[in-house]
Homo-oligomer: A and B are copies of this chain.
Amino acid sequence: MLKTKVGRRHLIDTDELTVEEMETLFGRAAYWRDHPEAWFQTGKGRFVANWFLEPSTRTRVSFEVAEKRLGMETIDLDGETSSTVKGESFYDTLRTLSAIGAEVVVVRHAGVGTLAEMAWENPGVSLVNAGEGNGGHPTQALLDLFTMQEHFRELKGLTVAIIGDIRHSRVARSNYWALKAFGARIILAGPESMRNPSLEENAPYLPVDEAIQQADVVMMLRVQLERHRETLFSSPDVYRHAYGLTPERLEAMQPHAVMMHPAPVNRGVEIADELVEHPRSKIFEQMANGVWIRMAVLERAIEGGRWR
């Protein structure tokens, strides 16, 4: 009587989702986008906790808008005031949130593998991965695929070039698994030092210009400036000319191809400043779609699939 009985539907990474499950999420995302009259009801009176141990305006706010549009009550555990400072364990915090009444916990943190481990421990809440170290970022991949599907209707057979810091990108990894599942063709490109051999078994590594010419979707990754500025390239200009999307490279794209980026963009580094809002850029459409995808993911987390 105290607790609503819910199925625990975690979302740890895209590799645990079937194509059918992802299709269902895309369908629900479109539903939420198209039916504002249905907002603010499904999650009424149900609590979700947002636990962002790493800074992230975009993803945190996107989740919060999604939660509130579902009518959920939100609780913030920011890094500063969380009792992690008292050494409390990850598990105990989740069990505490469950005891207090939260049904879902959205987590961003620097570790890798902790969320999968936690899901296994059965902490009494549905876990949603909002970006885990260099591991995965499944809602980003889902919103990327949703954006592609809305544009091209069909993901199967699409050629997607992922360009940039493949090695450190959780976005690359989560997109890789999801795109593979749908039968898309993936091409990788970027600096030699940022390659990820484990992804190259089923995805060719090509020179940037070749990748861009072949792609239906050019997905530029964010350069972790704070990490690479000194060691890997001498200036933003040098990176942009070697690996970034310049007006010349945009011209070389297939006429029907589009450009994407997980944002926030380093303007003038991985993408020339003037291309961010170019008609062929999907960047702000991706952001808008993020809210619908997260509504679908949260709905799944609290309902255990009520729409089945």
Chain A interface residues toward B at CB < 8 A: 1-2, 33-34, 36, 39-40, 45, 47, 49, 52, 55-58, 60-62, 64-65, 68-69, 73, 75-89, 92-93, 95-102, 225-226, 263-267, 276-277, 284-285, 287-288, 290-291
Complexed CA–CA distance, A33 and B100 (Å): 12
A1 near B287 with CB under 8 A, answer no
Complexed CA–CA distance, A89 and B264 (Å): 9
Complexed CA–CA distance, A1 and B32 (Å): 11
Question: Which of B39, B55, B100 sits near A80, CB closer than 8 Å?
Answer: B55
A61 near B77 with CB under 8 A, answer yes
Residues of B within 8 A of A80 (CB): 55, 78, 80
For A266, give the chain B residue with the smallest CB separation: B87
- With most chain B CB atoms within 10 A of its CB, the pick from A78, A92, A277 is A92
A73 near B68 with CB under 8 A, answer yes
Ranked 6 nearest A-B pairs via Cβ: A99-B287, A57-B83, A88-B264, A99-B284, A57-B82, A99-B288
Complexed CA–CA distance, A82 and B54 (Å): 10
Supposing A82-B55, A96-B263 touch, asked if A65 and B47 sit within 8 A by C-beta, the answer is yes
Supposing A45-B40, A287-B100, A288-B99 touch, asked if A264 and B62 sit within 8 A by C-beta, the answer is no
Residues of B within 8 A of A62 (CB): 100
Complexed CA–CA distance, A40 and B101 (Å): 14
Complexed CA–CA distance, A9 and B82 (Å): 29
Supposing A2-B288, A83-B264 touch, asked if A57 and B77 sit within 8 A by C-beta, the answer is yes
